């Protein structure tokens, strides 16, 4: 029987995962079928999928915490993020992974060709997306990671995670939006959910260093308020999350199937111009 995989979320009709994984399967000659599940009751839906022979799932909003709870084994990335975006089933075992952070970092370092060693990174937001990105960033030895958020308690938690990973006090810091004046960064990541509502996080326009990359985690929204701010500030390299989407999918595919697909064709197909 053809191996079954799916993405589960709600809503789910917008998901590009079936297109991406079907393209990966064709390119690598893997025999699998990949569908969408509009989740209602996560555990019951996943039980039913496994009973039909399901081998693995991608998990999207609002079920990443449910996927964490459902798993019997959690990777370090899952434990740090407190959320899972991929599951693999082997008999009774349910293994959980979170590839969002590594997907983002691979997009930045590999596709966008921005080495992170010695760089100054600003992460806007301290929710699930920012949590997932912090540790993969630290693995590349940046000079500095500053995390900015409206709600200070969440930023403090992220800084603690950074310290537990061995980051020095001067390497990972929290900063309020109001206290950012005069600081400049080589990479500014919008990991807030503001763009989903066409809002702009209150970041000053002078945070972009010469030659900076402005990266919007949201995908397919064109020039979001954050990217527009960066463009108006003279930033030449703008990116949205299409590469991250493809790279986290490639990580999941490799984890399930043991072969890592090339992402370029998928990225080209899904890219929405930043205008």
Query: Could you list the active site residues?
Result: 64
Cα 202 from Cα 114, distance rounded (Å): 25
Smallest gap from Cβ 235 to ligand ATR, in A, equals: 19
Cα 209 from Cα 180, distance rounded (Å): 13
Does 176 sit near ligand ATR (CB under 6 A)?
A: no
Does 25 sit near ligand ATR (CB under 6 A)?
A: no
Does 71 sit near ligand ATR (CB under 6 A)?
A: no
Cα 47 from Cα 51, distance rounded (Å): 6
Cα 275 from Cα 267, distance rounded (Å): 17
Which range binds ligand ATR by CB under 6 A, 21-29, 148-156, 233-241, 243-251? 148-156
The phi and psi torsions of 222 (rounded to 5 degrees) equal 65, -145
Q: 254 exposed, middle or buried (CB, 10 Å; 0-12, 13-18, 19+)?
A: middle
Does 194 sit near ligand ATR (CB under 6 A)?
A: yes
Q: Which residue among 199, 206, 262, 268 contacts ligand ATR (CB under 6 A)?
A: 199
Smallest gap from Cβ 174 to ligand ATR, in A, equals: 12
Q: Which residue among 127, 171, 173, 237 contacts ligand ATR (CB under 6 A)?
A: 127
Contact 191, 127 (CB under 8 A): yes
| Residues touching ligand ATR, count (CB under 6 A) | 14
Half-sphere CA count of 164, side-chain side, radius 13 A: 11
Does 179 sit near ligand ATR (CB under 6 A)?
A: no
Please enumerate in sequence order all residues whose Cβ is within 8 A of that of 89, keeping only pairs 6 or more positions apart, or say none: 50, 54, 55, 56, 95
Q: Which residue among 9, 54, 125, 162 contacts ligand ATR (CB under 6 A)?
A: 125
Cα 120 from Cα 173, distance rounded (Å): 11
Torsion sign (Cα): 189, 194, 197, 202: negative
Which range binds ligand ATR by CB under 6 A, 86-94, 143-151, 231-239, 263-271? 143-151
Q: Which is nearer to ligand ATR, 15 or 149 (CB)?
A: 149
Smallest gap from Cβ 74 to ligand ATR, in A, equals: 17
Smallest gap from Cβ 98 to ligand ATR, in A, equals: 11
Alpha carbon distances (Å) from 2 to 32, 59, 196: 5, 21, 36
Q: Which residue among 109, 184, 193, 271 contacts ligand ATR (CB under 6 A)?
A: 193
Contact 161, 187 (CB under 8 A): no
Does 128 sit near ligand ATR (CB under 6 A)?
A: yes
Q: Which is nearer to ligand ATR, 194 or 227 (CB)?
A: 194
Q: Which is nearer to ligand ATR, 64 or 106 (CB)?
A: 64
Does 129 sit near ligand ATR (CB under 6 A)?
A: yes
Cα 97 from Cα 80, distance rounded (Å): 11
Contact 85, 59 (CB under 8 A): yes
Smallest gap from Cβ 68 to ligand ATR, in A, equals: 13
Smallest gap from Cβ 47 to ligand ATR, in A, equals: 25
Which residues contact ligand ATR by CB under 6 A? Answer: 125-129, 149-151, 154, 192-194, 199, 201
């Amino acid at each position: 029987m053809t191996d079954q995989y799916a993405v589960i979320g709600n809503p789910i009709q917008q998901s590009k995962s079936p297109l991406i994984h079907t393209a990966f399967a064709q390119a690598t000659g893997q025999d699998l079928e990949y569908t969408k599940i509009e989740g209602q009751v996560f555990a019951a839906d996943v039980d039913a999928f496994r009973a039909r022979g399901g081998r693995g799932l991608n998990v999207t909003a609002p079920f990443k915490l449910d996927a964490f709870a459902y798993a019997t084994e959690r990777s370090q990335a899952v434990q740090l993020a407190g959320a899972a975006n991929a599951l693999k089933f082997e008999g009774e075992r349910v293994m959980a992974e979170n590839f969002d952070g590594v997907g983002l970092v691979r997009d930045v370092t590999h596709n966008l060709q921005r080495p992170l060693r010695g760089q100054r990174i600003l992460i806007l937001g301290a929710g699930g997306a920012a949590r997932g990105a912090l540790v993969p960033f630290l693995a590349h030895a940046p000079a500095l990671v500053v995390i900015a958020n409206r709600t200070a308690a969440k930023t403090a938690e992220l800084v603690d995670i950074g310290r537990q990973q061995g980051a020095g006090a001067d390497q990972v810091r929290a900063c309020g939006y109001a206290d950012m004046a005069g600081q400049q960064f080589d990479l500014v990541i919008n990991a807030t959910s503001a763009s989903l509502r066409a809002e702009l996080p209150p970041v000053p326009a002078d945070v972009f260093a010469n030659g900076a990359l402005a990266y919007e985690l949201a995908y397919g929204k064109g020039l979001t308020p954050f990217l527009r701010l960066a463009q108006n500030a003279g930033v030449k390299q703008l990116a949205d999350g299409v590469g991250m989407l493809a790279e986290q999918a490639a990580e999941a595919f490799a984890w399930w199937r043991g072969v890592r697909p090339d992402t370029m064709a998928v990225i080209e197909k899904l890219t929405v111009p930043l205008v």
